[in-house]
Amino acid sequence: MRLCQVAQLMDELQRFAVDFSVDPLEATIVGGDWNSESLEEIRAVAQATCRLEAAPVHPLLFSSVDVPTRSTSSTLLRRNRIDYIMHSEAALRLVAVPDAPRAAGCIPDEQHPSDHVPIAAEFEFRSREGRRRHIADRFVRGALRGDFSKPLQAPGIAAAFEAIGAPTPREAADRASGLLAGDGEREAFEALFERGRELTAEDFAEAYGRRYLLEAPFRESMACAFAFFDVDGDGAIQPGELRDTLKRIRPGISDATVDDILERADSDHNGEISPDEFGAALLRAYSASLRCNRS
Ligand SMILES: [Ca+2]
Ligand SMILES: [Ca+2]
């Protein structure tokens, strides 16, 4: 699967969720041939593109989990994994990864008529309570401990607020107490929020976003996307690179949208985007997505 297909697939998923009023945290599985060994690069670039465009995007792009399956392709030159099963963890728990057939040599062969070996995964639907707990746990892991291996997006943060939000930080800590290790974490949790003001979902988003932007997963994904856009590797994204790369990912994107992205990102108006400007543009977009999606 190429980048533009990933972007297209995510658009379709988002459209489906809106058209049929599907909760974005509802169980979602996307599986198949991504034709890529670097799933992380694809995700980082697709995420950056959606952020720069400020387009609504399905949370699966950001917080889905890849089932650890075996290599699915075997040729003379290499044996590797190019097929993936992605799932939304809020609603589904991975129970087992059944043994997949193993190709002895190059495929296709008599035993494996396809050039891909099938993969499989078994999931269990989480109960309503299980979902609430899972989401609240991810919120605590991120905002409190800096664990953003599966970062929550706006719908997840709103759900976390529903699960453990309360009028005061102390009451929220009471509701989250089962997820907190001891008094030290309890104090740290309360300190995430301003005292003396009624807590809102926005406070949850603010606390989560503030920590997320400091941690490695966000910075690494930003650097990976920057390197993709900076085609000649000179340390800046020139207008031509931005336009050509965006058009590869989004063939239908208009010149006006590309100009708009450049203008918004190029804050010192020198005609190109530096790594800092790129990072700042993604930070602004992330913060804006948390604000505009809150409920
Ligand atoms: Ca460049
Ligand atoms: Ca600049």
Query: In angstroms, what is the C-alpha Rg of the chain?
Result: 21
In one letter, which amino acid is 4?
C
Burial class, 178, CB count within 10 angstroms (exposed 0-12 / middle 13-18 / buried 19+): exposed
Domain boundary among 78, 110, 125: 125
Mean pLDDT is highest, among 81-95, 152-166, 281-295, for: 152-166
Domain boundary among 212, 246, 275: 212
Residue 269 Cα to ligand 2 middle (Å): 5
Are 234 and 166 contained in the same domain?
no
Are 119 and 12 contained in the same domain?
yes
Residue 238 Cα to ligand 2 middle (Å): 9
Are 93 and 166 contained in the same domain?
no
Q: Give pLDDT, residue 217.
A: 84
Can you tell me which residue has the tokens 């009023």? Answer: 21
Judge if pTM exceeds 0.85: no
What is the average pLDDT across 275-291?
A: 87
Domain boundary among 76, 108, 125: 125
Residue 272 Cα to ligand 2 middle (Å): 5
Residue 234 Cα to ligand 2 middle (Å): 13
Percentage of the chain exceeding pLDDT 90: 49
Q: How many helices (H) and strands (E) does the chain have?
A: 12, 7
Q: Give pLDDT, residue 292.
A: 58
Backbone angles phi, psi at 195, to 5 degrees: -80, 160
Are 100 and 12 contained in the same domain?
yes
For residue 118, whether the previous peptide bond is cis, meaning omega lies within 30 degrees of 0, is no
Residue 70 Cα to ligand 1 middle (Å): 37
Judge whether 57 and 14 are in contact, CB under 8 Å. yes
Residue 52 Cα to ligand 1 middle (Å): 17
Q: Give pLDDT, residue 295.
A: 38
Judge whether 159 and 224 are in contact, CB under 8 Å. no
Are 282 and 246 contained in the same domain?
yes
Angle made by CA atoms 258, 261, 264, in degrees to the nearest 5? 150
Residue 281 Cα to ligand 2 middle (Å): 11
294 pLDDT higher than 50? no
Q: Which two tokens stand for residue 292?
A: 């505009």
CA-nearest of 211, 283, 186, 169 to 161 is: 169
DSSP string for 108-175: S-SS--SSS-----EEEEPPHHHHHHHHHHHHHHHHHH---SS---HHHHHHHHHHH--SSHHHHHHH
Are 121 and 140 contained in the same domain?
no
Can you give the residue range of the structural domain that contains 262? 216-291
**Whole-number Å distance between alpha carbons of 89 and 58:** 14
Are 12 and 38 contained in the same domain?
yes
> Which tens digits make up the pLDDT trace of 198-207?
999 999 999 9
179 pLDDT higher than 50? yes
Q: Distances in Å between the alpha carbon of 206 and those of 53, 124, 137, 203?
A: 22, 32, 17, 5
**Whole-number Å distance between alpha carbons of 38 and 42:** 7
Residue 253 Cα to ligand 1 middle (Å): 20
Are 81 and 111 contained in the same domain?
yes
